[in-house]
Structure 1
Amino acid sequence: MPWIGGLAASKIVAGCALFIAATVIASVASRATRWRLGAGLVVSAACVIFSPKQPDYDTLSKGASVYFKAQNWGTVIDHAESIDGGLTMVTRRENQNGVVTTLLTNGKFQGNDAKNGEVQAQIGFAALPLLHQNIRENALVIGYGTGATSRVLHDAGFAHIDIAELSRDVVAMANTYFSDINDGVSHLPRVQTHITDGRNLLLLTPRKYDLISIEITSIWFAGAASLYNQEFYQLARSRLQPTAYCSNGFRCITWRPPIC
C-alpha cells in the first residue's frame, strides 16, 4: 500500500493481527487466561496507536544498513515512497564549499550537486566513452540518478536517447531538485524515459545502440547484480552497433583491516 506509506501499512497489518488474536483468545481461552492475554493485547495495541506517526527520515537517510555505518548526508527535505523505488529521499547539507543537495534511495547514495566533486564524475561517465565514439545516433542510459550523465549525452547531439530507470520517484526528485545539472533532460525532445529495469528494456527492444552507459555503480545494491554478469554483457553486445561502446561505471573501494 504505497499510497499510505510503509509505516501506516505496518500499523494496519499489526492492527489486523491484534484483532485476529483477540478473536481467538475470546473463543478458546479460559476466563483467567483471557485477562492475562487481554492485558498483553491492550499493551500491544497501545504501542501501535501511540507509535510515531511518521518515520525518522533523517535517521533512515544515513544508510547504516547499506554502508555498515551511518553517513551524514544532511537533513531530509523531501521524500517519496513506492513499490518500485522503495524510499527515495533528498537531503541538504551545508559544508565549507556551500550547500550540497544529495539524492538517496533507501539510504544509498545516487548523486549530488557538488560542482567540484560528484558532478564532475557524473559528467565523466558520459564524456569518457564519447572520446571514442563519434557516431551520434542512438544511446541508452541505464540508471538516471541525478540526470547529469543523460544531459551530457543529449548535449552531445545523439538523435535518440533511451533512459531506463527502475524508480519513477528518482526521476521526479532529480528533475525537481537537480534541474540545474540535468536541464530536465528526461522530458526533452529526442529523449524517451522508460520506468523499467535496464535489462528488461534490452530484452524487449529491437533498437541497436551506438553507446550504452550503465550508471549502476554499486554491485551490492538490490537488483544491480543482474547488470554484472556474463549473460547481461552478452545481451548488451547484441544490442550494440558494430562500432559501438558499452560504458559501465565501477567504484573502487579500498578497505583497510583494523590493527589488532
Structure 2
Amino acid sequence: MDKLWAHLIEVQPDPDPWVVAVSALAALALVGFRMPWQISRGLITIAHEGGHALMALVTRRKLEGIRLHSDTSGVTLTRGRPTGPGMVLTALAGYLAPSLLGLAAAWLTEQGRITLLIWGVLLFLVCMLLLIRNLYGALILLVTGGAVFALIMYAPAEAQQVVALVAVWFLLFGGIRPIIELQRKRRRRQARDSDADQLARLTFLPGGFYVFFFLLVSGASAVFGAYLMNPL
C-alpha cells in the first residue's frame, strides 16, 4: 500500500509549453467541430449525470440509477421530496459538473499529479458503472474505463501526461457548449424539461437565470483552469 500511495502521489515534471498549447488546440477542435463533438459529447454527459448523482448522495436523496443514451443524453433517477433544497441542488449540479471537474483536474495537473488524476478518473467511472441501469450506458462506461485502464497499464508517462492535458482542456471547454445548446433549444421551446426549467419550477427564479448562472460558473472555471494550466 505504501508503494501504491507513493506511485499515486508521484509528481511528474511540468510539460513543455508547446505540449500544453497543442493539447488545448486539440480539445478545442473536439468541442468546436460538429463531428468530433458528436462523438465525444457523451463524455460530458457522463460528467453531467455524475454531478447529479453525487449531489443526490450528498443531499441524502435516494439514488435509483443513471441512464446514458445513444443520442448523448442521460437521466439520473432519484427519489425523495419533489421540492426543497436537496432537489434544487441535485438539479443544479448537472451542467456545472463538467466544468468544476475540469477545474479540479487542472489543479491536479498544475501540481504535477497526473497519475493521481488518471486513477481518480478510473475510480469515478467504476462508481458510475455501479449505478448504470441500461445496457448502452454500461457499454459506454466499460469502453471508456477500459481505455483509461489501458492508458495506466501500458502507456508511458509522457503519453499519460498528453492525454490528461487534452482531457482537462476538453472538460473546461466542453462544459460550456452544452449550456449554449441548451439555451438555443429553450428559445425554440424544445427543452421544457431541462434542468434550468425544472429549477424554475422549483424556485421563484426564471429558467434563463439558471442558464446564465451555468454559463457564468463554466466560463469562470475555464478561465481559472486555463490560468492554472498556463506553463508560463
| Higher relative contact order (CA closer than 8 Å, sequence separation 6+) | 2
State if a TM-score over 0.5 links the two structures. no
For this structure pair, what is the TM-score category when the shorter chain's length is used for normalisation?
Answer: under 0.3
TM-score, with structure 2 as normaliser:
0.25
The structure richer in strand per residue is: 1
More helix by share: 2
TM-score by length of 1: 0.23
Structure with higher Rg: it is: 1
